[in-house]
């Protein structure tokens, strides 16, 4: 079945669950960064309001080949080569 839309999502877990692709963060990395911020508050005595908003330090491409095929999205070999092996789902 070919649909008229492609499901692009924000993070890898949603790609595992049927999204075609994401260029996003890992929840582990987000939690790690949040933990470092908590240390600044709990150990170093900073106020939360004094800590700048932070973003994940790295974003990765993830692809679900089965979902792409089901949604009529052709994935080139060149694009597949851009994806880390643990971010490529079939």
Q: What is the mean pLDDT of the chain?
A: 89
pLDDT tier, 4 (very low <50, low <70, confident <90, very high otherwise) = low
Percent of the chain's residues with pLDDT above 90: 62
Q: Is 80 exposed, middle or buried (0-12, 13-18, 19+ CB in 10 A)?
A: exposed
Encoding tokens for residue 34? 């949040």
Q: Which pLDDT score is estimated for 1?
A: 54
Q: Is the pLDDT of residue 88 over 70?
A: yes
Q: Is the pLDDT of residue 3 over 60?
A: no
Phi first, then psi: give them for residue 32, nearest 5 degrees: -65, -45
Q: What is the pTM of this model?
A: 0.73
């Amino acid at each position: 079945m070919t649909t008229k839309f492609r499901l692009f999502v924000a993070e890898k877990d949603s790609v595992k669950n049927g999204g075609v692709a994401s260029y996003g963060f890992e929840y582990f990395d987000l939690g790690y960064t949040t933990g470092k911020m908590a240390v600044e508050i709990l150990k170093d005595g900073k106020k939360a309001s004094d800590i700048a908003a932070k973003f994940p330090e790295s974003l990765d491409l993830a692809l679900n080949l089965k979902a792409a095929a089901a949604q009529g999205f052709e994935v080139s070999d060149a694009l597949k080569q851009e994806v880390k092996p643990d971010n490529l789902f079939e």
